[in-house]
Amino acid sequence: MAALLDIKGLRKQFGGVTALAGVDLTVNEGEILGVVGPNGSGKTTLFNSVTGVHRPTAGTVSWRGRDITGIPANAVSRAGIAYTFQQAMAFPGLSVFENVQIATEHCSNTLTNRPWTTPASLLEFVGLSGLSGEKAGILPFGRLRLLGLALALATRPSLILLDEPAAGLNDRETTTLVHLVEQFPEHGISVCVIDHDMKLMQMLCRRLAVLDFGSKIADGPTADVLNDPKVLEVYLGGAL
Amino acid sequence: MPASHSFRSLLPVLILLVLLALVPLLSPSNRFVSLAISAGINVIALYGLSVLFGQTGILSMGHAALVGIGAYTAAILARDFNIGFWLSIPLAGIMAAIVAALIGIPSLRVSGHHFVIMTFAFGQLLAIILTNGGDYTGAASGLDVQQPVALFGLSIDVLTHYYLTVVFFVALSAIASWAIINSRYGRTLRAIRENEKLAASLGINVGRHKIGAFIVSGVFAGVSGVLLAYFLRHISPSQFSSFPSIYLALMVMIGGARLLLGPLAGGILVAFLPELLNLDPVQSRILYGVCLIAVILLLPNGLIAGIIAGWHKMFDRRAAQPSEPAVEREGK
Ligand SMILES: Nc1ncnc2c1ncn2[C@@H]1O[C@H](COP(=O)(O)OP(=O)(O)O)[C@@H](O)[C@H]1O
Ligand SMILES: [Mg+2]
């Protein structure tokens, strides 16, 4: 398996706070990688520093061998990396259809091996076809997360970064989400997902990386990582 | 959104403009026609502001300065190059667009608040430059515009003819604004207005499109300036300083920036209200202040959106239905 995304020594400081203390992480082509860690351990900052939301303080990010450290968010998207934010986001004043339409219109990737290229097919895939005329701002939270997923897919990414995609979803919605995300690799989309729901992570991910205080403390097959004493200590044996 | 549906937003504006074009048949007073011309000239700039503020969510507090660039460009082209009204229109539009780019590029890359202050400062700066420009800008007393205006040999300098010319340009501005709103470009601008961070993550170059929207609004302002220069026949720096800029921002907020009828309503109301109520300039300034506060507090999407929402509420109550269509149409 070739490394698609290769993060080396990534640091991010916010004033005196070190959110990332030099993290190495690779995402391989075709895999679903999980990133876990306690609140404030730097997971979101890791995604933000890769996707151009923040500029990393030090370290490098390579994408298919090309250095993309610190490039702006729109360029990251165009390179083929999509991002769904921890706070579910959409364009609230616009219709659900217009939301997805905007995302498809700005897709510059010509990758054709995607089953979803039109707004209608994307809405169909995430199960929002019936709501395409509604304003995104009135969607219930679970639906908003699904819309966020459709927006990310509309950019025809090769890698999608999901920050707590199941937070705030009920069991049924979580099952739907798992079913959708599981399909990504077969369509050429690798996944890196952050979540606290360990059942979800065990279902989705064969590999897990663990962050604690901005450093990676474990990285490997999911079962091994979850039995790692260092990881158990971080979670005080409770959360797992 | 199908084209037939979006055309519905343009139709009332065009009908209203056709009716307004018939007004001279009622032989109105010169005073009335002059006020209407001033209103129309403002409305052209307001259609540009509605793209900037209504679609993109960026407020310019120096827009009259861009109108001034258009007006001075027309006056200087006429004086130094013997270039008349019709050729001045595109040239002044381009000139105002270039100036908008020069202000926009450094200030829009940063943030929205920064931009409001930059545009305000630019308005002040322009007035200072024009006042100190010596003979070239006519200093504090300004410039005269003497070129006659004609179309196919017919003089347009007659007040009602000039009025019709302005109505024509208002219609062009409304159509241009409508075409932008309903294009892919308009959707991009709305995406930026709604959520910049998300827009960027979808591949949209937010900074570039904000500058683009400001440049587009500059073209409208430049054209408005030419019409103003040829109407007043004399222009001076104070016409383009901060007060007129604040008035333009106020008009677009009162009328509502997101609906196509908004700029028309805002421009007409602000021009005619003091006249109707017989107010002196100080009183009318107070009235505008009160109106602005009332609109911001009660009708944040402007008067027209407020009226439409109110209409739907009444209509829906009678039909005993939930107010779902009102949500659909508001803010479009
Ligand atoms: N924009 C920011 N400004 C200042 N501090 C931040 C910012 N974003 C994150 N942090 C800090 O960085 C640390 C890691 O936060 P975050 O990456 O959000 O953690 P996680 O997603 O793992 O919960 C926290 O201490 C947080 O307060
Ligand atoms: Mg987080």
Cα torsion A50, A52, A53, A58 to 10°: value is: 60
Q: Which of A16-20, B292-296, B308-312 has the highest mean pLDDT?
A: A16-20
* Structure confidence at residue A14 (pLDDT): 94
Confidence band for B327, pLDDT divided at 50, 70 and 90: very low
Residues of A in contact with B203 (CB under 8 A): 74, 77-78, 106-108, 155
Task: Choose, out of B198, B301, B328, the residue to mutate when testing the contact with A (most A CBs < 10 Å).
Answer: B198
User: B59 versus B157: which is more confidently predicted?
Assistant: B59
Tell me the whole-structure pTM to 2 decimals: 0.89
Q: List the single best residue of A94, A134, A139, A151 to mutate versus B (max B Cβ within 10 A).
A: A94
Which pair of structure tokens corresponds to residue B128?
A: 């200072």
Q: Which residues of chain B neighbour A103 with C-beta distances below 8 Å?
A: 202
* pLDDT for the residue A204: 94
Residue ranges lining ligand 1, Cβ < 6 Å: A 14, 17, 19, 37, 39-45
Mean pLDDT of B30-52: 94
Averaged pLDDT for residues B7-13: 86
* Residues linked to residue A220 through DSSP beta bridges, in sequence order: A208
pLDDT confidence of B328, banded at 50, 70, 90? very low
3-state secondary structure A14-79: ECCEEEEEEEEEEEECCCEEEEECCCCCCHHHHHHHHCCCCCCCEEEEEECCEECCCCCHHHHHHH
- What lies within 8 Å, CB to CB, of A149 at 6+ separation is A84, A126, A162, A165, A177, A180
> Mean pLDDT, to the nearest integer, of B124-128?
89
Residue B326 sits at the chain A interface (C-beta within 8 Å): no
Nearest-angstrom CA–CA distance, B178 and B227:
21
Residues of chain B with C-beta less than 8 angstroms from the C-beta of A90: 195, 198
pLDDT for the residue B269:
87
Domain boundaries, chain A: 3-236
Instruction: Confirm or reject contact between B325 and chain A (CB < 8 A).
Output: no
pLDDT in tens, B151-161: 777 777 788 89
What's chain B's average pLDDT? Answer: 85
CB A96 within 8 A of CB A133: yes
Pocket test for ligand 1, best of A20, A44, A50 (most atoms within 8 A of CB): A44
pLDDT greater than 60 at residue B323: no
pLDDT values of chain A reduced to their tens digit, one per residue, 240 residues: 568 999 999 999 999 899 999 999 999 999 999 999 999 999 999 999 999 999 999 999 999 999 999 999 999 999 999 999 999 899 999 999 999 999 999 877 766 567 788 899 999 999 999 999 999 999 999 999 999 999 999 999 999 999 999 988 999 999 999 999 999 999 999 999 999 988 899 999 999 999 999 999 999 999 999 888 888 888 755 554
- Looking at residue B112, what is its pLDDT? 65
Residues of B in contact with A162 (CB under 8 A): none
**Count of C-beta atoms within a 10 Å radius of residue B284:** 17
Domain A3-236 fold is Rossmann fold (3.40.50)
Choose which residue among A14, A57, A192 to substitute to test ligand 1 binding: the one with the highest number of ligand atoms within 8 A of its C-beta: A14
Burial of B204 (0-12, 13-18, 19+ CB in 10 A): buried
Q: Is the pLDDT of residue B46 over 70?
A: yes
A73 at B interface, C-beta within 8 A: yes
Mean pLDDT for the stretch of residues B232-239: 92
Element (H, E) at B86: helix B85-108
Portion of chain B with pLDDT greater than 90, in percent: 44
Nearest residue (CA) to ligand 1, atom 27:
A40
Give the pLDDT mean for B283-298.
Answer: 78
